Chains A and B, each alone.
Chain A
């Protein structure tokens, strides 16, 4: 069975602080994908990033960066110089399996509520 754990239920920071959201996953699959989604107060789910299990290269996109480490089964997300607009719920998710049908199924973590204060 797959499992995703986001141990931080809520994080509160002041604008311009850096913040890291933790994600730890469990899977027996050798091929899998990891995702981060953002859910702003308006409620929609916004795709942020996808990373496959063969690519441990860290990625940076503007103020966002992701650190994928297979050795610790972690896929952490860092926001640099946070802004009020970053306030949202952030979900880490996992899909996988050797069979192609598994890619249509996501296992989500519980979510981390990030509040950025001005």
Chain B
């Protein structure tokens, strides 16, 4: 199993550009989430999904869109990038239930100029 994969690993954007961060998992997990990591603030939840076709907002959703058309994929879209979105982005997946543990992808380092 590849686990949770994310592409790209690094990305530089100019203000106003759009892009999609890709996330895929091959563990048949129902739950998938996106977090951003900023210095001194830990990881904060952006959006999450409890299954195909179902998404919801996390703590910091503004400026980001998500959709979940398949169990495996959970892309994160930045429609108009801003310097405040410079961060490291992590995707995670888990199975539902009391014993679930979130497994994280390797992260995408995004810089918005």
List residues of chain B with CB within 8 A of the CB of A101.
31, 50, 96
List residues of chain A with CB within 8 A of the CB of B96.
100-101, 103-104
Q: How many B residues face the partner with a CB closer than 8 A?
A: 29
Is chain B's binding surface mostly helix, strand, loop or mixed?
strand
Q: In the complex, are the beta carbons of A91 and B43 less than 8 A apart?
A: yes
List residues of chain A with CB within 8 A of the CB of B48.
104-105
Size class of the contact patch on chain A: 20 to 34
A106 CB contact (under 8 Å) in B49, B97, B102: B102
Is chain A's binding surface mostly helix, strand, loop or mixed?
mixed
Q: Tell whether A110 pairs with B40 under 8 Å between CB atoms, given A35-B101, A45-B104, A104-B100.
A: yes
Q: In the complex, are the beta carbons of B42 and A105 less than 8 A apart?
A: no
Interface residues of B in 39-57 (CB under 8 A from A): 40-45, 48-50
Q: Tell whether A103 pairs with B104 under 8 Å between CB atoms, given A9-B40, A108-B44.
A: no
Q: Tell whether A43 pairs with B101 under 8 Å between CB atoms, given A104-B33, A104-B48, A105-B48.
A: no
Q: Does B94 contact A (CB under 8 A)?
A: yes
Q: In the complex, are the beta carbons of B42 and A110 less than 8 A apart?
A: yes
Interface residues of B in 58-113 (CB under 8 A from A): 58, 88, 90, 92, 94, 96-104, 106-107
CB within 8 Å of A: which residues of B? 31-33, 35, 40-45, 48-50, 58, 88, 90, 92, 94, 96-104, 106-107
